[in-house]
Structure 1
Amino acid sequence: MNYNNPDYHFVHPQFKLNGFHFSEDDLSRIAYSFIKEGEPFERAVGDFLMYWFDQNSYIEMHTSGTTGQPKLIRVEKQAMVNSAKATGEFFDLEAGIKVLHCLPTQYVAGKMMLVRAFILGWDMDLVAPVSHPLERNETQYDFAAMVPLQAEHSLEKLHMIKKLILGGAKVSQALSDKLAGLPTAIYETYGMTETITHIAAKRIGEEAFTVLPNVKISEDERHCLVIDPYLICDEPVVTNDVVKIVDDTHFIWLGRHDNVINSGGVKLFPEQIEEKLSGRIDRRFYVKGMPDESLGEKLVLVIEGEPYDVDKATFKGLGKFEKPKDILFVEKFAETGSGKIKRD
């Protein structure tokens, strides 16, 4: 077997799961055991293993809605292998490293952690995808992937991970500040199901994302990012993410095109305003546009939970048009299947 150009049937001889070496045949048996007897998170792993080692060259997944309405797509397994290799090259992740898998395998990021482990030969520990994945951990890890919420709840133990990637949601400025002083090399990633998880990453505190190997980027007429990861996708992926392209390999994410608020002719990016407010409001919140007779759209702050008086100092430092015209309270935010807030 050529380790440099593996196909999707390949399981690296150094691959381990929970301390044990497994071959392709072993993993098929483990999958059956997980499905029949495992915890819910293990059943999701078992389902994925059964699909990965079946006779089809593809896997079906639901998109998250980054490029439009959520839909079922077919992803080629070889493209997932190519994505795994790109991650290994970009982050310098070699065979034999100790890795923590604490993401739900129902979603592309969790699936790709397993594929990377098979293909690159990682020694992987599989744990439940809970909000405190390191709570009882005493193991030193070379690499892990988390969502920002997990990192937020693991600050005191993140030093036990040498290299950490965060994805699935934007890393707030407040969290970024907390992570900045840690010895761990922490990266925020950018990607989606259509690109088979991340195609770019940046160190915490940096402004611009750097694209992974073999990824080309451009803008469309809306200034939205167009991605051409030609070893992963058959055709370019047109996103709804407004960006500023710095050069061929770097871009700055500005916000979602479908969230942009046009208030009195001024374009406002909710995500940038939320970034400025992060750490000042101790509940979940977002800003959105609502119809207004004089402005066309007015900026509104929506906060989860019981109403309270918001201190005007909260909005210090916001631009004239960035200050909310109204504040609304919602008892509980609606969420997507992956836990993202629905901006209703």
Structure 2
Amino acid sequence: METKFSLPETHPEFRLNGLYYTNEELAAVAYSLIKEGEPYEGQAGNFLLDWLNDKDYIEVKTSGSTGPPKVISIKKQQMVNSARSTGKFFDLGPGTTALHCLPTNFIAGKMMLVRAMLLGWKLDLELPKANPLDRIFKIYDFCAMTPFQLDNSLSRLHLIKKLIVGGGAVSSNLRNLVQGINTKVYETYGMTETVSHIAARNVNARGKKLEEPLPFTTLPNVKIDIDERDCLIIEAPQLSDETLITNDVVELISENKFIWKGRIDNLINSGGVKLYPEEIEAKLAPIIAHRFFVTSLPDPALGEKLVLMVESEFSETALNNLEREIKVCRKLGKFEVPKKIYFVEKFEETANGKIHRANTLKSRIT
């Protein structure tokens, strides 16, 4: 028989914007944030009320990056387990100073609050925007950002000691930009269904040669395997009641390490050769200054042909220069060279700012 969830009291060292609150006091703070705060503070207030209510679950909206956004229920006990696992993995104990600069209506933002309350962090709420550090003048032990926020915060990253980056892949260009800095930057792997991240990789380990590709290491109590499609299977009973079968193609390195190759939804079969766009994009990133992605178009001989989409105005010079750069790129395999390059003035985007590949391709080709 399942034990009823009992909400843990806030840790004695917990601080929110400098002040300590018990669970009882947090309810009043939540109402105040909703009524008098900025919209992002109201989001935090709404979550705190959900956290403090009698239900043993929280309703969470998925991001919609791998399909239409949907609302799922996550048990509060699973959120507690995830918070403790993160604290252990990243060595973030009581007294950790942390900056919260993510929207609290998604799982990553909710988990920052849960970690702070349970682990005894001193958490400051900041507006979730492109460059969240621009008004920050103190040093924090920990912060979580999206790749877009990281890209816009490079000049002030010395204010963060440990940073986790999630909600999208960290490009090889961005990885190169964080080499040699003191901040420890970790790219995370996870999803709403796994209560944020279940694996991470340090993308700028000092004194170590950067491996390519870089493997992810799982957090405690997470078991991984692959199915017949080579897609990742996640078994984490503390975080999910079900075994999760993902659409992420991976290569297993060991029982707790894997290399992410790409989404099976994006897999291209060109003349019988399997091509993973994300792998090819990582190889092209150092030679393309603009946003871009690789995808496929139907081809009578190959079935699918590899094409490159670049977000930029078209010019013959730009096309010729790019074709020449690609031709001499030694990292690219014979079948990884795009058969055609398309320039698109503005990419179509999803609601949360990610590139909508299918719509961009459709609008350009039709």
Band the TM-score falls in, shorter-chain normalisation: over 0.9
1:210-221 residue pairs with structure 2 within 5 A? 210-221=217-228
**2:90 matches 1:91:** yes
The match for 2:207 is none
> 2: distance between equivalents of 1:64 and 1:128?
19
The match for 1:38 is 37
Deviation at 1:335, TM superposition (A): 2.4
More displaced stretch, 286-295 vs 65-74: 65-74
Give the aligned residue type for 2:324.
A
SS at match of 2:287: coil
The match for 1:313 is 324
Deviation at 1:150, TM superposition (A): 1.3
SS at match of 1:35: helix
- CA deviation string 1:83-140 (max 9, x = no partner): 0000000011010111111111111111111110011010011101111111121111
Q: What is the RMSD computed on CA atoms of the aligned residues? A: 1.6
> 2: distance between equivalents of 1:332 and 1:67?
21
The match for 1:331 is 345
Deviation at 1:71, TM superposition (A): 2.7
> 2: distance between equivalents of 1:223 and 1:67?
18
> 2: distance between equivalents of 1:332 and 1:176?
25
The match for 1:23 is 22
Deviation at 1:10, TM superposition (A): 2.4
> 2: distance between equivalents of 1:7 and 1:121?
18
> 1: distance between equivalents of 2:283 and 2:302?
23
> 1: distance between equivalents of 2:346 and 2:37?
32
Deviation at 1:62, TM superposition (A): 2.3
Structure 2 segments unaligned to the other structure (5+ residues): 204-209, 359-366
**2:182 matches 1:183:** yes
**2:138 matches 1:139:** yes
2:129–2:149 CA contact under 8 A, matched in 1: yes
2:8–2:118 CA contact under 8 A, matched in 1: no
> 2: distance between equivalents of 1:8 and 1:109?
20
Number of aligned positions between the proteins: 339
The match for 2:216 is 209
The match for 2:51 is 52
**2:78 matches 1:82:** no
Q: Identity over aligned residues, as a percent?
A: 54
1:81–1:119 CA contact under 8 A, matched in 2: yes
Structure 1 segments unaligned to the other structure (5+ residues): 1-5
2:63–2:106 CA contact under 8 A, matched in 1: no
**2:281 matches 1:270:** no
Deviation at 1:30, TM superposition (A): 1.7
**2:336 matches 1:322:** yes
1:7–1:81 CA contact under 8 A, matched in 2: no
Give the aligned residue type for 1:327.
I
- CA deviation string 1:137-164 (max 9, x = no partner): 1111111111111111111221221111
Give the aligned residue type for 2:56.
S
- CA deviation string 1:252-281 (max 9, x = no partner): 111111101111111110001111111322
1:281 to 285, 288, 292: 288
Give the aligned residue type for 1:264.
G
TM-score, normalised relative to structure 1:
0.94
> 1: distance between equivalents of 2:217 and 2:352?
25
1:194-205 residue pairs with structure 2 within 5 A? 194-204=193-203, 205=210
SS at match of 1:278: helix
The match for 1:3 is none
Deviation at 1:7, TM superposition (A): 4.7
> 2: distance between equivalents of 1:173 and 1:68?
25
1:297 to 263, 279, 304: 304
The match for 1:172 is 171
> 1: distance between equivalents of 2:193 and 2:53?
21
- Measured at CA, do residues 261 and 86 of structure 1 come closer, stay the same or move farther in structure 2, by a change above 3 Å? same
1:301–1:324 CA contact under 8 A, matched in 2: yes
1:131–1:150 CA contact under 8 A, matched in 2: yes
Give the aligned residue type for 1:284.
R
- Measured at CA, do residues 114 and 263 of structure 1 come closer, stay the same or move farther in structure 2, by a change above 3 Å? same
> 1: distance between equivalents of 2:138 and 2:164?
18
